[in-house]
Structures are given as structure tokens and as C-alpha cells.
């Protein structure tokens, strides 16, 4: 995918490409062939249920025991570091690199981003890309996997059900999105690196739990340190990242402001902009899906963009894609609306 007739990049941002258009986004990579959607097996649904239900229970029990001394600075550090690493793996790796092709990365960065994203336990890379591209193509219509608006029934109960569906309920859908990889992500499926990362997903997930357990055991000593490392650096870290990501699907399609025309209900939400490493500037993202930068204003904090820009400064990232001033002006609503 190339972008033509681009102005020269500013000297302080190596390899930046401007004036992208929505037609330059990954939509051009979709296959128009009909790809029948299969059904998710009960074993997958059971694993999903465990991943959704068990972590909040573990968090509640862990907080209770923390008052009794079953918590250390090592546990807190691993939880925070793990949160940032796996969140950035999702935002920079799964999302901006592999799904939207917002920039090109060197092999070490591409591998590291994909592996860290896998350790967030949000599904194999190919499944995640397929799901997200389907979301963009059908955003807030009936074929959107996780819209809080499409098909919503009237009243408070309808609103609650739709919100719950967009946040976590959609994970239990009978539609096997993985069977649509050839339709939505043929380019990623053809990438040997992406295929390898996706195929080894169980290994990366296991590493996401084993590494903090080993560190906890070595630093704090014994099985107690290892167990607490597994709990705080593994399970609870996963729980926090899950809900930060899922809130983009739910919260950021309901609460916030709209600066640009995007054809859907996407919103810019400052709180999620911080907690989700810049993903909360969701209206910006839906208006310019291929942009590597989601926080388009100087005050819109986007840690993922800061990281991408820093990697570009040392030559590890190139061909960064950004919207030009004319494109932004053309899509601007006039004043931000709720």
C-alpha cells in the first residue's frame, strides 16, 4: 500500500507521510469474495468465559489478602510494567501496525509488538485484525461485532443490554470471526511473521503469566513470591488491559465528543485516551483510520504515538502515515459535538 503525492515530511519527524485518505486505509485490502462465517465451538466459549469471569474474582480476593501482607512493591511494579507493555502491544502492534498499516516497522519492533499484544490475551493476531477491520467496515451497523447502537431496543434495559454486548457480550457470539480471515485480512494472513505470531499465540499467553511468576519468585523469594507475581503481574494485569481495550468498543461509542465526521457514533474520550495509550481519541481514529497518531491535537495525550515517533527517531520505524491539514479541515464538524 502506498500513498502518492505527499508533501515533504517535517525534519523533526523522520519518514512521516501526510495527506492520507480513507481510501488509502486497509479497506482496499478486503476481499470481495463471499466468505461463509462458521460458528464458535463450545470449547472456545468456555475459555472465553473463564478469561472474563475469573480475573475479577481473583482481583477481589487479591485485594482482600493484600491487607494481610500478600502484596509487595515487586507485584505492583510488575502489574504496571505488564500493563504498559501488553497495552502497547495491542495499540502499537495489533492495531496501528498490523491492522491499519499506519507505519512500517523493523523486524525486532514488529516481532516485539506482536508478541506483547498476544500476551494481552485478546486473541490471536489474525483473529484480532479480522475483527477490527470488520468493525471499521460496518461501524455501528448490524454487522459491527461490538456496536452499542446497532439493534438496540428501547428503554433502560435495552441500553444496558447493548452496552454489555459492546463491552464484553460480543465475545460470546456464535459467529466465528476467524473463518473470515480471507475476507477481511488476506494481506496479514499472507505475512509469514504475522502467521507465526498468531500460530504461537498460546506460547505468548503462557509467557505472559510465567515471566512475572519467575520474577516474583526470584525477587521476593519462594513460592509465595512466584504465586503473587503470577496473580498481580499476570491475571490482574490481564484483567485491567482487557477492560481498557473493551471500553474503546463501548464507552468510546457512547460518551465523549465528536470533532470529525466519521459516519458512526465514535467519540473522543479523554479518560480512555490516557488509560488506553491514546486509543480513546476514537472519533479521530474513525475519521482517519490509517493515521499512526490518534491524539491529533497537542493536548490529546497519545502515548502510543509518542512511542512510534521515538522509534522513528532512532530508525526503527519508517513511513509513518498522518492526515494532512486539508483532509482534517474537510472532515471537521465545525465545533466538537457530543
Contacts of 323 (CB under 8 A, 6+ apart): 18, 19, 20, 287, 288, 291, 296
CA-closest candidate to residue 133, choices 277, 30, 24: 30
Residues 6+ apart with CB under 8 A from 82: 208, 212, 233, 234, 237
Q: Is the pLDDT of residue 233 over 70?
A: yes
Average pLDDT, the chain: 89
Residue 186 pLDDT > 70: yes
Four-point Cα dihedral 178, 179, 180, 186, nearest 10:
80
* Beta strand segments in the chain, E: 16-17, 38-39, 104-105, 175-176, 258-260, 317-318, 320-321, 332-337
Per-residue pLDDT band for 38 (boundaries 50, 70, 90) equals low
207-225 pLDDT, tens digit each: 999 999 999 999 998 999 9
Retrieve residue 319's grid coordinates.
513511513
pLDDT at 204: 97
Kindly calculate the radius of gyration of the chain based on its CA atoms and give it in whole angstroms.
20
pTM of the model: 0.90
pLDDT at 287: 98
What angle is formed at CA 47 by the lines to CA 138 and CA 197, rounded to 5 degrees? 65
Q: Are 152 and 2 in contact (CB under 8 A)?
A: no
Over the stretch 102-157, which tens digit does the pLDDT of each residue have?
999 999 999 999 999 999 999 999 999 999 999 999 999 999 999 999 988 889 99
Q: Do 230 and 212 form a contact (C-beta atoms < 8 A)?
A: yes
Q: Are 137 and 13 in contact (CB under 8 A)?
A: no
pLDDT at 221: 86
Return the minimum-mean-pLDDT range out of 42-46, 85-89, 108-112, 303-307.
Answer: 42-46
Amino acid at each position: 500500500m502506498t500513498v502518492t503525492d505527499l508533501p515533504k515530511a517535517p525534519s523533526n519527524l523522520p519518514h512521516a507521510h501526510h495527506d492520507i485518505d480513507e481510501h488509502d486505509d486497509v479497506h482496499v485490502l478486503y476481499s470481495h469474495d463471499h466468505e461463509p462465517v462458521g460458528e464458535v465451538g463450545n470449547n472456545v466459549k468456555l475459555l472465553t468465559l473463564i478469561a472474563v469471569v475469573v480475573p475479577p474474582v481473583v482481583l477481589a480476593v487479591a485485594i482482600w489478602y493484600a491487607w494481610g501482607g500478600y502484596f509487595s512493591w515487586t507485584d505492583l511494579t510488575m502489574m504496571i510494567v505488564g500493563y504498559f507493555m501488553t497495552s502497547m502491544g495491542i495499540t502499537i502492534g495489533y492495531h496501528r501496525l498490523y491492522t491499519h498499516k499506519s507505519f512500517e516497522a523493523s523486524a525486532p519492533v514488529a516481532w516485539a509488538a506482536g508478541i506483547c499484544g498476544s500476551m494481552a490475551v485478546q486473541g490471536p493476531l489474525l483473529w484480532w485484525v479480522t475483527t477490527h477491520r470488520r468493525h471499521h467496515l460496518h461501524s455501528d451497523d448490524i454487522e459491527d461485532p461490538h456496536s452499542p447502537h446497532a439493534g438496540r431496543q428501547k428503554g433502560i434495559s435495552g441500553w444496558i443490554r447493548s452496552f454489555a454486548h459492546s463491552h464484553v457480550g460480543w465475545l460470546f457470539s456464535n459467529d466465528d470471526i476467524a473463518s473470515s480471515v480471507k475476507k477481511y485480512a488476506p494481506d496479514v494472513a499472507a505475512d509469514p511473521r504475522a502467521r507465526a505470531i498468531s500460530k504461537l499465540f498460546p506460547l505468548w499467553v503462557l509467557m505472559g503469566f510465567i515471566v512475572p511468576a519467575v520474577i516474583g519468585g526470584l525477587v521476593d523469594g519462594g513460592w509465595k513470591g512466584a504465586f503473587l507475581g503470577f496473580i498481580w503481574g499476570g491475571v490482574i494485569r490481564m484483567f485491567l488491559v482487557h477492560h481498557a481495550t473493551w471500553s474503546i468498543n463501548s464507552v468510546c461509542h457512547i460518551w465523549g465528543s465528536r470533532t470529525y465526521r466519521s459516519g458512526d457514533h465514535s467519540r473522543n474520550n479523554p479518560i480512555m485516551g490516557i488509560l488506553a495509550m491514546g486509543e480513546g481519541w476514537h472519533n479521530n481514529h474513525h475519521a482517519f483510520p490509517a493515521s499512526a497518531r490518534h491524539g491529533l491535537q497537542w493536548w490529546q495525550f497519545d502515548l502510543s504515538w509518542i512511542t512510534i515517533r521515538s522509534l522513528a527517531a532512532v530508525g526503527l520505524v519508517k513511513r509513518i502515515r498522518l492526515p494532512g491539514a486539508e483532509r482534517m479541515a474537510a472532515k471537521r464538524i465545525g465545533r466538537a459535538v457530543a
